[in-house]
């Protein structure tokens, strides 16, 4: 029970007035950006990265963690009231949540989402407390070859499991890795991809890339698609639930937590798949199958608990191995690097105050979020009235300010713009952003580990596969990569597919979920029309 | 010859609408209802929902007035949309609703009503809610 003692010390760090204030600021900001579609926690943390120059590390991470969780909370509000998910992890919530709101049960939907998120967040953080030291013990045994294999796994998982197509995922990853290569090679001193520009010799700052891809890219994309018919928002009072809602919600909350946490831990990228799985599970297990597709509370409770649990799970690989599984985690990793802290097993030994303070602040953040969200959901919905030109002008301003603050050089501003244009083109051609940002941030570290492994083995390629773990990981990678071929040529021959689940296609997942939701218990033709009115905005969520 | 009314789903908009129906019936001419949005925010409380428009339609039909509802979303101010619609249909009257505002509030917020008064080429009738 050593972890408990550490946790109590963590609370001592997190409960100082200054750190409490940063936790509060973080969750406030996190919820706000979670509510606004198109602006995610990854962008918010990226915009705040320049703060790392002045703020003490513990305070900064307590704030970032608040944003991390707040984003997962806030996304549900927009899903339920507007049918436009604020975050990609809340896409599934919109299916039942918006129907509940249309039936006048918006307050209950908001309540089950907030309380479910709270319970999942608390349980997920507890699991993190007890799991992290164990993972650290294992991680301490790992060598360079193992780390490299883990990072390759993260690259492959994030490209093949997420997004519309693997090819697009890999294109995005290669773009990210290439940006990560710019600068002087640390082992040989050669300049790579600097085109003779001296300012590029130090490499492109991760801060500039993150702000370019998330903030400038999104702002340009929105500017190109500004006019849109306003969506109809469903007015709602403060969130509340009755006894029946409680009894129908608590099981989905716990099941959602059980589904979400493991998916957060493995590098499978984000909460889309587990939230979908949770939805399908609830649909199967419900005692009220007739309500699914018309606003069943289980269909909100399960996925919302799932996405918060997977957020908590995502912190396990980030803190113990330095492996980000989501865009936000990747940007937080960049923040660690700004402080010269290497996340990984040694983090728990070298920076116990920071790590345990961060974990303790997650508990505090969850409580603040619950208190903020139950009574204030209607207030958050008011944020949606902000005209986007004002919003994005602000974002562009802070991005430019931050990029200039990195080195005080105009070259950084130019790079910011170029990366921003790249980000916009990636959105235009449907390339996912997450693999790129993970490539930029994790790529250079993967290179270091690979070279270390090769130096140990004297340049022999077998040095990369000489441990049991690395062999096991490469086997998994091979399976992930070959699965579509196996699926196409072997499995289909032996059985007719009952229902094809297109893993990795969020859109297809949503359509499928809607299809399942629509599956009639008693056929009713009038329902078919109601699904076609979904706004098209979900497709450009990063 | 038509009556153009700038409509928002708020008391002042409803007051303007009721008065414009009266005017159109009295003059025996057509009514054009303009309900616009700049379309740059995700939610715009001035833009009527489909349900509200349906209700409006029913109300106008039962009043027995000949009408048309325009709902432009193209990034322009409501005042521009109303004045343009009036020019477009050669309106003989524009009806707008006004809400009570303090002098300071007016200074900060500007006023669609003022723009319409300045830009319109026909008489403008301003109605206060309740």
Q: What are the residue ranges spanned by the domains of chain B?
A: 2-128
Local structure of A521: helix, strand or coil: coil
Helices (H) and strands (E) in chain A, counts: 23, 2
Is the minimum CB–CB distance between A232 and chain B shorter than 8 Å? Answer: yes
Strand order through the sheet with B30-34:
B67-70, B30-34, B2-6, B93-98, B124-128
Is the minimum CB–CB distance between B77 and chain A shorter than 8 Å? Answer: no
Nearest residue, CB atoms, B40 vs list A37, A231, A387: A387
pLDDT (0 to 100) of residue A505: 43
B122 CA: distance to closest CA in chain A (Å): 30
Tens-digit pLDDT profile for residues B44-85: 888 888 889 999 999 999 999 999 999 998 888 888 999 999
A223 CA: distance to closest CA in chain B (Å): 10
Concatenate the DSSP letters of all residues of A38-60 into one string.
Answer: T--HHHHHHHHGGGGGTS-HHHH
| B95 φ, ψ (degrees, to nearest 5) | -115, 130
Does B41 contact A387 at a Cβ distance shorter than 8 Å? yes
Instruction: Name the closest residue on chain B to residue A38, using Cα atoms.
Output: B42
Nearest residue, CB atoms, B40 vs list A36, A84, A388: A388
Nearest residue, CB atoms, A82 vs list B39, B42, B49: B42
Instruction: Name the closest residue on chain B to residue A386, using Cα atoms.
Output: B41
The upper half-sphere exposure of residue A404, i.e. CA atoms within 13 Å in the direction of its Cβ, equals 7
Does B39 contact A387 at a Cβ distance shorter than 8 Å? no
B42 contacts on A by Cβ (under 8 Å):
36-37, 82, 84, 230-231, 384-385, 388
In the block, residue with structure tokens 């050089």? A409
pLDDT (0 to 100) of residue A78: 86
A107-119 b/e (C-beta count within 10 Å ≥ 16 → b): bbbbbbbbbbbbb
The pLDDT mean for chain B works out to 87
Local structure of B93: helix, strand or coil: strand
Instruction: Name the closest residue on chain B to residue A78, using Cα atoms.
Output: B42
Does B47 contact A388 at a Cβ distance shorter than 8 Å? no
pLDDT (0 to 100) of residue B110: 57
How far is C-alpha A84 from the chain's CA centre?
Answer: 18
Select the residue from B42, B47, B55, B76 to test the A interface by mutation, using most A Cβ atoms within 10 A: B42
Is the minimum CB–CB distance between B41 and chain A shorter than 8 Å? Answer: yes
Interface A–B counts its CB contacts (< 8 A) at: 49
B55 CA: distance to closest CA in chain A (Å): 16
Does A230 contact B74 at a Cβ distance shorter than 8 Å? no
| B11 φ, ψ (degrees, to nearest 5) | -55, -45
A379 CA: distance to closest CA in chain B (Å): 13
Is the minimum CB–CB distance between A229 and chain B shorter than 8 Å? Answer: yes
Q: Are the C-beta atoms of A254 and A310 separated by less than 8 Å?
A: no
CA end-to-end distance (rounded Å), chain B = 28
Q: Are the C-beta atoms of A27 and A365 separated by less than 8 Å?
A: yes
Distance CA A136, CA A7 (A): 16
Instruction: Name the closest residue on chain A to residue B47, using Cα atoms.
Output: A230
What is the CB neighbour count within 10 angstroms for residue B28? Answer: 9
A 51-80 residues inside an 8 A Cβ radius of B:
none
Is the minimum CB–CB distance between B39 and chain A shorter than 8 Å? Answer: yes
Angle (CA) A165 A168 A174, round 5°: 140
A445-448 own/partner pairs: CB under 8 Å, 24+ apart: A445/A151, A445/A322, A446/A148, A446/A151, A446/A152, A446/A155, A448/A186
What is the CB neighbour count within 10 angstroms for residue A124? Answer: 29
CA end-to-end distance (rounded Å), chain A = 40
Mean pLDDT, contiguous 10-residue spans, chain A (542 residues): 82 90 92 86 89 87 89 85 80 89 89 92 93 89 89 86 77 93 84 84 88 92 80 79 89 92 79 86 87 88 92 90 87 89 86 90 92 83 86 92 87 93 92 90 90 88 86 89 77 52 48 54 37 38 38
A 346-405 residues inside an 8 A Cβ radius of B:
381, 384-389
pLDDT (0 to 100) of residue A269: 60
In the block, residue with structure tokens 């497709």? A539
B59-65 own/partner pairs: CB under 8 Å, 24+ apart: B60/B21, B60/B31, B60/B33, B63/B21, B63/B25, B64/B25, B65/B21, B65/B24, B65/B25, B65/B30, B65/B31
**Nearest C-alpha neighbor of A213 from the set A160, A241, A172:** A172
In the block, residue with structure tokens 């196409």? A488
Tens-digit pLDDT profile for residues A271-294: 778 888 899 899 888 888 888 888
How is domain B2-128 classified at the CATH fold level? Rossmann fold (3.40.50)
Local structure of A433: helix, strand or coil: coil
Distance CA B65, CA A125 (A): 64
Distance CA A47, CA A43 (A): 6
Residues near A421 by beta carbon (within 8 Å), at least 6 away in sequence: A216, A217, A220
What is the interface pTM, i.e. ipTM, of the complex?
A: 0.73
Whole-angstrom CA distances from A51 to A61, A64, A333, A335, A342 are 11, 11, 15, 10, 18
Does A232 contact B37 at a Cβ distance shorter than 8 Å? no
Is the minimum CB–CB distance between A284 and chain B shorter than 8 Å? Answer: no
| B20 φ, ψ (degrees, to nearest 5) | -70, -35
Instruction: Name the closest residue on chain B to residue A85, using Cα atoms.
Output: B42
Supply the angle between the helices A106-139 and A243-265 in degrees, to the nearest 10: 30
Q: Are the C-beta atoms of A292 and A108 separated by less than 8 Å?
A: no
Pull the structure tokens for residue A210.
């993150």
Beta-ladder partners of B33: B5, B69
Select the residue from A229, A230, A378 to test the B interface by mutation, using most B Cβ atoms within 10 A: A230
| A477 φ, ψ (degrees, to nearest 5) | -60, -45
Pull the structure tokens for residue A283.
């649909």
User: Beta B30-34 vs B67-70: how paired, if at all?
Assistant: parallel
What is the CB neighbour count within 10 angstroms for residue A340? Answer: 7
Does A37 contact B45 at a Cβ distance shorter than 8 Å? no
Q: Are the C-beta atoms of A34 and A87 separated by less than 8 Å?
A: yes
Instruction: Name the closest residue on chain A to residue B41, using Cα atoms.
Output: A387
């Amino acid at each position: 029970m050593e972890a408990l003692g550490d946790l109590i010390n963590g609370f001592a760090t997190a409960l100082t007035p200054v750190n409490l204030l940063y936790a509060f600021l973080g969750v406030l900001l996190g919820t706000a950006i979670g509510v606004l579609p198109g602006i995610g926690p990854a962008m918010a943390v990226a915009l705040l990265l320049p703060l790392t120059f002045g703020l003490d590390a513990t305070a900064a991470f307590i704030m970032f963690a608040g944003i991390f969780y707040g984003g997962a909370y806030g996304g549900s509000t927009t899903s339920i009231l507007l049918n436009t998910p604020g975050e990609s992890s809340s896409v599934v919530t919109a299916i039942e949540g918006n129907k509940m709101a249309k039936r006048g049960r918006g307050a209950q939907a908001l309540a089950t989402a907030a309380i479910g998120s709270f319970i999942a967040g608390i349980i997920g953080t507890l699991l993190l407390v007890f799991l992290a030291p164990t993972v650290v013990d294992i991680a301490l045994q790992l060598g360079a070859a193992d780390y490299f294999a883990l990072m390759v796994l993260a690259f492959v998982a994030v490209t093949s499991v997420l997004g519309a197509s693997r090819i697009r995922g890999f294109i995005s990853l290669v773009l990210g890795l290439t940006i990560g290569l710019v600068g002087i090679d640390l082992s040989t001193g050669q300049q790579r991809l600097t085109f003779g520009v001296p300012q590029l010799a130090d490499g492109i700052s991760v801060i500039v890339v993150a702000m370019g891809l998330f903030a400038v890219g999104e702002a340009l994309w929105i500017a190109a698609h500004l006019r849109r018919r306003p969506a109809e928002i469903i007015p709602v009072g403060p969130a509340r639930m009755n006894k029946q809602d409680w009894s129908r919600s608590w099981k989905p909350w716990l099941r959602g937590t059980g589904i979400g946490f493991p998916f957060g831990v493995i590098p499978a990228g984000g909460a889309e798949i587990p939230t979908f799985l949770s939805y399908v599970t609830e649909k199967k297990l419900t005692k009220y199958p007739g309500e699914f597709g018309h606003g069943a509370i289980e269909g909100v409770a399960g996925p919302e608990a799932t996405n918060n649990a997977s957020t908590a799970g995502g912190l396990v690989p980030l803190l113990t191995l330095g492996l980000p599984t989501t865009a936000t985690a990747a940007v937080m990793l960049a923040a660690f690097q700004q402080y010269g802290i290497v996340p990984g097993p040694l983090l728990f030994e070298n920076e116990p105050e920071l790590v345990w303070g961060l974990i303790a602040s997650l508990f505090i953040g969850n409580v603040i979020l619950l208190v903020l969200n139950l009574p204030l959901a209607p207030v958050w919905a008011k944020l949606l009235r902000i005209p986007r030109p004002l919003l994005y002008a602000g974002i562009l301003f802070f991005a430019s300010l931050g990029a200039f603050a990195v080195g005080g050089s105009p070259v950084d501003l130019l790079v910011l713009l170029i990366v921003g244009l790249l980000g916009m083109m990636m959105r235009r051609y449907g390339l996912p952003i997450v693999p790129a940002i993970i490539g930029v941030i994790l790529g250079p570290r993967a290179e270091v580990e690979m070279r270390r492994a090769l130096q140990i083995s004297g340049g022999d390629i077998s040095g990369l596969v000489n441990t049991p773990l690395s062999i096991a990981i490469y086997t998994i990678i091979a399976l992930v990569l070959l699965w579509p071929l196996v699926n196409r040529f072997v499995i289909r021959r032996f059985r007719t597919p009952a229902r094809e689940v297109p893993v990795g296609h969020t859109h297809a997942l949503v359509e499928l979920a809607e299809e399942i939701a629509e599956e009639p218990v008693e056929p009713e033709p009038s329902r078919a029309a109601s699904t076609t009115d979904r706004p098209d905005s979900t497709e450009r969520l990063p | 010859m038509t009556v153009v009314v700038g409509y928002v789903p708020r008391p002042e908009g409803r007051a303007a609408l009721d008065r414009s129906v009266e005017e159109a019936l009295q003059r025996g001419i057509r009514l054009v209802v303009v309900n616009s949005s700049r379309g740059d925010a995700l939610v715009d409380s001035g833009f009527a929902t489909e349900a509200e428009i349906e209700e409006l339609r029913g109300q106008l039909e039962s009043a027995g007035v000949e009408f048309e509802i325009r709902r432009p979303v193209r990034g322009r101010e409501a005042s521009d949309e109303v004045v343009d619609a009036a020019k477009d249909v050669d309106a003989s009257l524009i009806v707008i609703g006004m809400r009570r505002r303090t002098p300071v509030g007016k200074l900060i917020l500007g006023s669609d009503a003022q723009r319409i008064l300045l830009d319109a080429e026909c008489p403008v009738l301003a109605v206060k809610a309740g």
